[in-house]
Amino acid sequence: MVAVKVTSTNSLFSSASPCVVFFIVIAFVLSSAVLCDGGKTGVYARKPEKTGDMPLHSDVFRVPSGYNAPQQVHITQGDHVGKAVIVSWVTQDEPGSNTVVYWSENSNGKRKAEGKVKTYKFHNYTSGYIHHCIIRNLEYNTKYYYMVGDGDSIRKFRFTTPPRVGPDAPYTFGIIGDLGQTFDSNSTVAHYEQNPKKGQTVLYVGDLSYADNYPNHDNVRWDTWGRFIERSVAYQPWIWTVGNHELDFAPEIGETTPFKPYSNRYPVPYVESKSTSPFWYSIKRASAYIIVLSSYSAYGKFTPQYQWLQQEFPKVNRTETPWLIVLMHAPWYNSFNYPFMEGETMRVIYEPWFVKYKVDVVFSGHVHAYERSERVSNVAYNVVNGICTPVKDQSAPVYITIGDGGNMDGLVSNMSEPQPTYSAYRESSYGHAIFDIKNRTHAHYSWHRNHDGNPVEADSMWFFNRIWHRVDESSVSQ
């Protein structure tokens, strides 16, 4: 009879001494503990392949009927405190009227505001007539109707202003990022619209149309994106942050002005917060102070963005606006493997301020997935001391990556393993989030994946304000 050599772990154990086996078992138990030491990784099954953009003839891209009818109507906050709105729209055939007619729900008198019109060229594309008009001196907490266009092509919309800025003003923000214009993007917007929590304003964390993925950055896809999201952004403000897909830097076709299409189409109230650039600015809205940063503008020491932020943080009065929220595109804490560490240089420079001034939450995009961190900081490292591991820090923000809007680049599902301890929850699924401020101490946060029913919270936590109720949320039963 011929003996057969069996190679397996059993043979390893059978040939080892009891002492060696003991240490192997202990090592296995310890490694399992490390693997389980992080947060939770969602295992929801979703199709991994990319989905293309919706075709040009899709109903969501339909041009409104009527000669020169206003299209791509969108609004954003128009001042620092929420008493103004910027209304933007495009007319395709001729400039037409620059006037916005508006009135409050409870008044008979109609008022008018005059805007300006512009066009821009990008390689072989010429834009339609882009109108921007600021409506000022609005009443807080009031429903307004507004009309744009001429003659038979007038279109009517509505919005509601936020409550007066104050410490206990409740307000509900939606958060969307990296949306694009695929069928998944459409699902994200629909899911947000139907969420029973009813977001009142969207905090948009960058990467809008993904037009730059097309040959010559086909700006027609900026137009289709504008028509696609009109159904939400004509009725509630979206607060804009720039992402890498807004750069449209294309020297190979003679386009060397960064952010050119975005800047022409999506104005923001940056002057009101003493910023010198529309890519970084701040607003107050209800009980929140929102700082918007640009991951793709210079941010090192002595740069305009650095100087502005240095002066901005001390201005935040947490007695007036208890909730301090920061928006930026590239995340600082991200345990997915792509894109990896792109936010690191900004983190090294700015993170000490975020901890010092006790930012409540940072929303980012860029990574096409979802992740929520623990309250951690990583500010001790000074090159020579080797202290480079994030540690729990109750003065630090929670970092939320929500680049899962559904764009044509698809989801990222490759994660670093084991899940780092700072990562509380992560999942490679499309969705949006809601940050629901109740008062100066409490806000309820929830993430809603597209494949669930509208009310389902796939991830959630109660936020306790860093100034008014500084309790470790992770120590409290949610």
Q: Which residues bind Fe ion (CB under 5 A)?
A: 207, 243-244, 366
Q: In this complex, which beta carbon is closest to Fe ion, that of residue 246 or of residue 351?
A: 246
Residue 366 CB, nearest distance to Fe ion (Å)? 4
Q: In this complex, which beta carbon is closest to Fe ion, that of residue 186 or of residue 244?
A: 244
Distance CA 412, CA 418 (A): 17
CB 312 within 8 A of CB 304: no
- What tokens appear for 444 in the block? 């309820």
Q: In this complex, which beta carbon is closest to Fe ion, that of residue 244 or of residue 287?
A: 244
Q: In this complex, which beta carbon is closest to Fe ion, that of residue 129 or of residue 266?
A: 266
Give the list of residues 6+ apart from residue 329 with CB closer than 8 angstroms, or none: 177, 205, 206, 207, 241, 242, 243, 244, 294, 295, 296, 364, 365, 366
Residue 169 CB, nearest distance to Fe ion (Å)? 32
Residue 408 CB, nearest distance to Fe ion (Å)? 12
Helix (H, G, I), strand (E, B) or coil at 203: strand
Residue 327 CB, nearest distance to Fe ion (Å)? 13
Q: In this complex, which beta carbon is closest to Fe ion, that of residue 263 or of residue 364?
A: 364
CB 332 within 8 A of CB 351: yes
Residue 32 CB, nearest distance to Fe ion (Å)? 35
Please identify the residue of the shown chain whose CB is closest to the bound Fe ion. 366
Please name which of 252, 81, 49 lies closest in space to residue 166, comparing C-alpha atoms: 81
Distance CA 329, CA 242 (A): 7
What length is written for the chain? 478
Give the list of residues 6+ apart from residue 27 with CB closer than 8 angstroms, or none: none
Please name which of 399, 318, 408, 328 lies closest in space to residue 368, comparing C-alpha atoms: 408
- What tokens appear for 396 in the block? 């630090």
Q: In this complex, which beta carbon is closest to Fe ion, that of residue 223 or of residue 409?
A: 409
Q: Where are the beta strands (DSSP E) in 19-70?
A: 40-41
Q: In this complex, which beta carbon is closest to Fe ion, that of residue 207 or of residue 374?
A: 207
Please name which of 160, 173, 478, 165 lies closest in space to residue 325, comparing C-alpha atoms: 173
Residue 178 CB, nearest distance to Fe ion (Å)? 6
Residue 206 CB, nearest distance to Fe ion (Å)? 6
Q: In this complex, which beta carbon is closest to Fe ion, that of residue 127 or of residue 334?
A: 334
DSSP structural state of residue 353:
H
Residue 307 CB, nearest distance to Fe ion (Å)? 25
Residue 242 CB, nearest distance to Fe ion (Å)? 10
Residue 228 CB, nearest distance to Fe ion (Å)? 18
Q: In this complex, which beta carbon is closest to Fe ion, that of residue 184 or of residue 207?
A: 207
DSSP labels, 271-336? GGGT-SSTTSEEEEETTEEEEE--TTS--STTSHHHHHHHHHGGG--TTT--EEEEE-SS-SS--B
Distance CA 19, CA 406 (A): 53
Helix (H, G, I), strand (E, B) or coil at 246: helix
| Residue 235 buriedness (CB in 10 A; 0-12 / 13-18 / 19+) | middle
- What tokens appear for 471 in the block? 């309790």
DSSP structural state of residue 429:
-
Task: Sheet with 155-160: list strands edge to edge.
Answer: 111-114, 99-104, 143-148, 155-160
Residue 330 CB, nearest distance to Fe ion (Å)? 7
Residue 213 CB, nearest distance to Fe ion (Å)? 11
